[in-house]
Structure formats: structure tokens, C-alpha cells
Amino acid sequence: MSGSEYFENVADKWDSMRKDFFSEKVRDEAIIQLKTVSGKIAADIGAGTGFMSEGLLDAELIVVAVDSSPAMIEIMKEKFADIKEFQAVLTDPDIIKLSDESVDYAFANMYLHHTEEPQAALKEIIRILKPGGKAAITDLMLHNHEELIKNHHDRWPGFSFPDLYDWFISAGFKNISIEKLNQSCTCKEECGGEIKIDIFIACGEK
């Protein structure tokens, strides 16, 4: 089963599954760090069922959520059907189907470890940002838990700070900050026992 097939299969259960993995504090911290301004446009990259989008809408942002899973897109369209500030866009796994310089902010939560080429993904994210726009990436620190990688069809076992910094520089970001959050991703039954992996936040400006 590929990663895309996995997410198609679990789409209707993802909201309840996510609550066991990590808390809303992850998205709250990302929004706080970018110091978002209400009324601006934010992209939620690899949006899933809209975990990050919910927080962005609460922050009074106009939200464009992109995901490569048709099932996830349909769930978001239903969930946010009455919110005019929300739009869901079906995209390709490795290309963000949004115009150049079209958003003020880009958020990607637990997206990078599912991409084929993280460095290319960051270049796509900076492409869609307006000049002066900001991005916040929240994801897993480097780990060696094979069960987690296998069960969730991850492409990458988390990331190290040196690699992230090099990729952000290469993509063209400036004012880069990368730090470990006081949050972790927890996996229990699926991983044969409780596993906790630290979560990082990486921010940059175009």
C-alpha cells in the first residue's frame, strides 16, 4: 500500500486518530510564531482533514487548504461548507496547485515526512508565498522507530536540524528559525507499545 492509498483508507477516521498523535498546541504555536494578521491568506499544505485549517480560521485568516487525497478534500469541503473564508484544492503529491506569490502564509503540519523530496517541497512552498510571506513547518524530529514509519507509510524518519537549515537556505528563505517544541507525537497500539517523538517547528520568510 502506498502512502496515498493509506490516507484514502483512513480519511474518515483521521480526525479521531490525530487526537491520539498530537495536540492542538502544535498548530497554535505555529500560528503564534508567525504572528499572523487577520484577513490575510494562509495556505494549509497537506491539509488532511483540516486540523491546521481549523486553527487558521480561528485566527481569522482566509484559508486555502491543499491535499493530494480526494477523500480528505471531500471531508474538508463538508466540514467547512458554511465558511466562505475556506477553500479546498486537490493538488498533486509533489506540486502545490496554487499560483506563484498567492498567499501571505504557508503552514505544513506533518507534511514534510510524506514528501518524496523535502527540499523540493520547501521550494514549492516559497514559490506560492508573496514577497515577505512567512512559512511554518511542524514535523517530527529524526527518529529510528521503524514501526511508525512502516505503519504510517512515511517516506522520511523525521529530520535533523542541519538538514532542515540547509534546505531552507537552498529554497531561498531568510530569517530562519528552527527549534524543538515542547510537544511530541505519540503512537501506541499501532506501534506495539507507546512511542513518543519530539516535534520541531521551522519558520522562514521569503
| Residues in the chain, pLDDT under 50 | 1-9, 11-19
Instruction: Give pLDDT, residue 63.
Output: 98
Q: What is the CATH number of the domain that holds 34?
A: 3.40.50.150
Q: What is the pLDDT of residues 33-49, one digit of tens each?
A: 999 999 999 999 999 99
Domain with 11, as residue range(s), is 3-205
Q: How many domains in the chain?
A: 1
Instruction: Give pLDDT, residue 187.
Output: 67
Instruction: Give pLDDT, residue 168.
Output: 98
Instruction: Give pLDDT, residue 190.
Output: 54
* pTM of the predicted model as reported, rounded to 2 decimal places: 0.86
Cβ distance 159 to 138 under 8 Å? no
Angle 103-104-106 from CA coordinates, rounded to 5°: 75
Instruction: Give pLDDT, residue 182.
Output: 86
